[in-house]
């Protein structure tokens, strides 16, 4: 009988230890979640309404020391955009553009197109391209001197 009581005490202490471990884990995950929620504010990720749409209509490119990327953007939305951010990536299967080609862009009216040429031998954020696998465009609207929203479109390309 005495042996059974000792085993019961060990089982109860193990259960208490697991309950404490789970409680501490849940408490830490709540703290990390709240910290991350304030670290990435919702203002930074606000999306434009569906009526704001700039697409990559066309591109062509040439590689080498005098290589270039020629990108044609088209505003398919109902409103003029105040500018755009154009990024590119040179890694295969990239999901987002890491290198910024321009961060101001030019305003584009609805239905209008804007063609921009980027030379491979120029430095974009310290990067000289030899090939590009992805181009993405993020049009934005400015309200009261600040960017009020951003939209997003990307295009996998073969330029190598």
pLDDT in tens, the chain (160 residues): 455 556 677 778 888 889 999 999 999 988 888 777 666 554 554 677 778 888 888 888 877 667 788 889 999 888 888 888 888 888 888 777 778 888 888 899 999 999 988 887 777 767 777 778 888 888 888 887 777 777 778 888 877 5
So what's the pLDDT on residue 100?
A: 82
| Architecture label for domain 46-159 | Sandwich (2.60)
Measured CA to CA, the distance from residue 8 to residue 10 in angstroms comes to: 5
Give the global pTM.
0.63
CB 160 within 8 A of CB 130: yes
Residues 6+ apart with CB under 8 A from 136: 86, 87, 88, 96, 97, 152, 153, 154, 155
So what's the pLDDT on residue 74?
A: 92
Structural tokens at position 77: 């939305």
User: Hey, where are the domains in the chain?
Assistant: 2-40, 46-159
So what's the pLDDT on residue 14?
A: 85
How many other CB atoms sit within 10 Å of the CB of residue 136? Answer: 21
């Amino acid at each position: 009988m005495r042996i059974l009581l000792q085993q019961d005490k060990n089982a109860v202490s193990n259960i208490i230890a697991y309950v404490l471990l789970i409680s501490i884990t849940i408490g830490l995950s709540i703290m990390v979640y709240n910290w991350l929620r304030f670290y990435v504010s919702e203002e930074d990720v606000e999306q434009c309404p569906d009526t704001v749409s700039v697409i990559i209509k066309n591109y062509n490119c040439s590689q080498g020391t005098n290589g270039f990327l020629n990108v044609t953007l088209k505003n398919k939305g109902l409103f003029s955009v105040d500018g755009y951010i154009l990024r590119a990536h040179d890694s295969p299967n990239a999901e987002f553009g890491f290198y910024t080609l321009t961060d101001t862009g030019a305003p584009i009216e609805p239905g209008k197109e804007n063609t921009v040429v980027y030379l491979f031998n120029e430095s974009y954020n310290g990067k000289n391209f030899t090939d590009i696998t992805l181009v993405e465009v993020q049009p934005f609207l400015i309200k009261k001197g600040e960017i009020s929203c951003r939209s997003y479109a990307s295009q996998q390309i073969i330029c190598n």
